[in-house]
Amino acid sequence: MNAESAYQAHETLVAPGRAKSHIWRILAGLGIIAGVSYALNLGAFLLVLQLSSAADLAAVVQGSTPAAMLLVLVTFGFMALGAGVAGRLLQGRSFVSLVGPLAPLLHQFTRVFLRLLIVFGIVLLLPPYDFGAPLVPNLALSLWLGLLPLSLLAVLVQVSAEEVVFRGYLQQALAARFQNPLIWLLLPSALFGLAHYMPQEAGDNAWLLCLWAMGFGLVTADLTARAGTLGPAIAVHFFNNIVALLVVASPSSLNGLGLYLLPYDLSDVAGLRPWLMVDCATMLVAWLVARLAIRR
């Protein structure tokens, strides 16, 4: 099967932007997304500054407490708002047209997410049962469970916003302009990876984590093009971030909602790099599970 036939459903997302697919519109749209997100995040930051102490402000920056982490995740929604404004002003398209028809989106999201739960639930029953060292307890189980509904909603906002920007606005705008899938698959994925470049936290592992994020972006870009909605991409991203932020978080940052912490931080070369290979294999399995779930 060639790329054109495999990605036929993508036209549902791309068509609304085809009449206004000028390069300047794409770039201006990215500027609007960045501007709206920056302005609203600055406003939220100043509000926290007025209402909180310096210690609370540091916690927000690091996402090191439950309240701080919830705030960090929810403010990702400003990116989605910016994408909606950019789509409306520059391409005359609705927000729904960026995510795809809602009924198929919800159907695909549910199918993919439930299958990921089943497959990786089975994987969890198999050895090994740690990450080379015991996991570090972070939140009390009762507190974690009490926060879980809010935590899940906040993570859903965060991943949905990233998908709307990268696999919604940017991928679709490029696909409306360029026929070659390599352009609209690879460029948003590369930018997604660069957005995850964290040299201060990850040290010598920063570029490897960046490359992993690029691969993840390519997986979700492919799923979006095959499905014709953002549902599968959001489901895979949601599942991944539930594990990475709510179940076993990094001790380096963004760990305020994690039940456990990894026994090493992001800059630990010996501890982290072997598990990056496992993460790559996990990403491949998630992609295959999602593809089977949306097969027509």
* pLDDT band at 296; cut points 50, 70, 90: low
- Whole-number pLDDT of residue 275: 82
Mean pLDDT of 128-157: 90
Residue/partner pairs of 187-196 with CB below 8 Å, 24 or more apart: 188/217, 188/221, 189/214, 189/215, 189/217, 189/218, 189/221, 190/214, 190/217, 191/166, 192/162, 192/166, 192/216, 192/217, 193/217
- Whole-number pLDDT of residue 201: 83
* pLDDT band at 146; cut points 50, 70, 90: very high
Q: Give the residue with greater pLDDT, 103 vs 126.
A: 103
Q: Give the residue with greater pLDDT, 98 vs 129.
A: 98
The model's pLDDT over 174-187, given as tens digits with 9 standing for 90+, comes to 999 999 999 999 99
Taking alpha carbons only, the member of 207, 204, 167 closest to residue 188 is 167
- Whole-number pLDDT of residue 274: 83
- Tell me the domain boundaries of the chain: 3-294
The model's pLDDT over 261-291, given as tens digits with 9 standing for 90+, comes to 988 888 888 778 888 888 898 999 999 999 9
- Whole-number pLDDT of residue 266: 83
Is pLDDT at 77 greater than 90 in this prediction? yes
Give, in order, the Cα–Cα distances in Å from 289 to each of 114, 121, 126, 246, 295: 10, 13, 18, 22, 10
* pLDDT band at 135; cut points 50, 70, 90: confident
The whole model's pTM is what? Answer: 0.94
The model's pLDDT over 52-68, given as tens digits with 9 standing for 90+, comes to 765 566 667 778 889 88
The model's pLDDT over 184-220, given as tens digits with 9 standing for 90+, comes to 999 999 999 999 998 888 888 889 999 999 999 999 9
User: What is the DSSP-derived secondary structure letter of residue 263?
Assistant: S
Is pLDDT at 129 greater than 80 in this prediction? no
Average pLDDT, the chain: 91
